[in-house]
């Protein structure tokens, strides 16, 4: 089986240029199905941390790249929606989030937020022993008690280390959601109405955006999120802006100091020139 595939045929979720080269790396079997993006593409094409597959393999051998809390050494491992990427040496943390046109994008988050990940419940069934098994959107399965209050299309937050559910968000009207695919991918709002469609067709969901406009998409594309989920991202952006402002202020102070030093040098040179003129005048008098 080939380790490459043509760029023109990759899924829309892959954040790569399609016409610059003919082939790209092929994702290995793993979570997220066909929508999963090989880790190599994230490291090379998105973040620019490496320039080649060889460099990516060397970097991954250092156990400094974590996906959902686990060190990853395979550059073809699929990365997908809501995965958490941590770069321990750089102290950088990202959440995979839907971007424009359904392409996966990396959203910076803080270290605390990187300790857990969000998952949409796409299946549930009873297993021998009486437990209830939940299947999440990335293929991960969780065992919970048979009377656990989880339903399909609900979202849960799973702690990376313990793999325990630490938060639960119900899929219902009024819930905060984001669209992860389709023409409205990446947009956030609250569910105004869930339109149940008879038969096997997908239910439609009407979403009220913050600006008051209404968008409509199918139920499969909708994921329930929490307000903290959005605030974490905004908080990191605010911190980045504060750091940028501090850097600008420091640069401005440095520029002022340089200007003052230049002015002092100019004054000193002027005084020295005046002294030379006085000496010259004295020589003429003699």
Output the DSSP codes for the chain.
Answer: --SEEEGGGS-TTS-S-SSS-SEEEPPPS-TTGGGPEEHHHIIIIIS-S-SSHHHHHHHHTTT-EEETTEE---TT-EE-TT-EEEETTTTEEEEEEE-GGG-EEEEE--TTGGGEEEEEEEEEEE-TTS-EEEEETTS-EEEE-TT----TT-EEEEETTT--EEEEE--STT-EEEE-SSTTTT-EEEEEEEEPPSTTSPPEEEEEETTS-EEEEEGGGEEE--HHHHHHHHHHHHHHHHHHHHHHHHHHHHHHHHHHHHHHHHHHHHHHHHHHHHHHHHHHH-
Six token digits for residue 183: 């023409």
CB 178 within 8 A of CB 205: no
Calculate what percentage of the chain has a pLDDT beyond 90.
Answer: 50
Mean pLDDT over 181-192 rounds to 91
**Between 104 and 268, the higher pLDDT residue:** 104
**Between 199 and 136, the higher pLDDT residue:** 136
- Sign of torsion over alpha carbons 185, 187, 188, 189: negative
State residue 240's pLDDT score: 45
Bridge partners, 25 (sequence order): 4
In a 13 Å sphere around the CA of 114, the CA atoms on its Cβ side amount to 22
CB 97 within 8 A of CB 117: no
- Comparing CA positions, the residue from 108, 98, 81, 99 lying closest to residue 235 is 108
Average pLDDT of every residue of the chain:
81
Q: pLDDT grade, residue 99 (50/70/90)?
A: confident
How far is Cα 80 from Cα 159, in angstroms, rounded to an integer?
17
How far is Cα 250 from Cα 60, in angstroms, rounded to an integer?
36
**Between 50 and 261, the higher pLDDT residue:** 50
**Between 169 and 104, the higher pLDDT residue:** 169
Mean pLDDT over 15-41 rounds to 74
State residue 23's pLDDT score: 65
**What is the pTM (predicted TM-score) of this model?**
0.75
State residue 262's pLDDT score: 60
- pLDDT at residue 250 greater than cutoff 80: no
CB 86 within 8 A of CB 114: yes
- pLDDT at residue 203 greater than cutoff 90: yes
- pLDDT at residue 18 greater than cutoff 50: yes
State residue 57's pLDDT score: 93
State residue 154's pLDDT score: 97
- For the stretch 35-83, pLDDT in tens is 788 899 899 888 999 999 999 999 999 999 999 999 999 998 999 999 9
**Between 131 and 250, the higher pLDDT residue:** 131
- pLDDT at residue 241 greater than cutoff 70: no
How far is Cα 206 from Cα 68, in angstroms, rounded to an integer?
31
State residue 36's pLDDT score: 84
Strand arrangement of the beta sheet that strand 165-169 belongs to: 141-144, 132-136, 116-126, 155-159, 165-169
Cβ atoms < 10 Å from Cβ of 121? 20
Six token digits for residue 179: 């669209």
Q: Which residues contact 141 (CB under 8 A, 6 or more apart)?
A: 133, 134, 135
Q: pLDDT grade, residue 14 (50/70/90)?
A: low
How far is Cα 130 from Cα 49, in angstroms, rounded to an integer?
47
Q: Which residues contact 46 (CB under 8 A, 6 or more apart)?
A: 15, 106
Longest CA–CA span in the chain (Å) reads 117
- pLDDT at residue 2 greater than cutoff 80: no
- pLDDT at residue 128 greater than cutoff 70: yes
């Amino acid at each position: 089986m080939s380790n490459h595939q043509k760029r023109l045929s990759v899924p829309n979720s892959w954040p790569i240029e399609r016409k610059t080269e003919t082939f790209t790396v092929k994702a290995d079997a793993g979570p997220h199905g066909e929508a999963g993006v090989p880790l190599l593409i994230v490291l090379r094409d998105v973040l620019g941390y490496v320039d080649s597959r060889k460099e990516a393999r060397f970097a991954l051998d250092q156990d400094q790249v974590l996906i959902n809390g686990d060190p990853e050494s395979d550059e073809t491992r699929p990365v997908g929606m809501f995965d958490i990427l941590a770069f321990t040496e750089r102290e950088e943390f990202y959440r995979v989030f839907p971007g424009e046109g359904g392409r996966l994008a990396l959203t910076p988050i803080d270290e605390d937020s990187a300790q857990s990940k969000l998952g949409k419940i796409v299946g549930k069934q009873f297993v021998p022993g009486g437990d209830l098994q939940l299947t999440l959107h990335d293929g991960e399965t969780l065992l919970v008690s048979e009377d656990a209050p989880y339903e399909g299309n609900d979202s849960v937050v799973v702690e990376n280390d313990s793999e325990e559910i630490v938060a639960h968000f119900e899929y219902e009207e009024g819930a905060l959601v984001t669209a992860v695919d389709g023409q409205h991918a990446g947009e956030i709002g609250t569910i105004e109405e869930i339109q149940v469609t008879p038969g096997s067709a997908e239910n439609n969901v009407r979403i009220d955006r913050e600006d008051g406009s209404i968008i409509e998409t199918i139920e499969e594309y909708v994921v329930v999120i929490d307000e903290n989920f959005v605030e974490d991202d905004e908080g990191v952006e605010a911190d980045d802006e504060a750091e940028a402002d501090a850097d600008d202020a420091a640069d401005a102070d440095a520029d002022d100091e340089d200007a003052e030093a230049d002015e002092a040098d100019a004054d000193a040179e002027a005084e020295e020139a005046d002294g030379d003129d006085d000496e010259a005048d004295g020589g003429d008098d003699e």
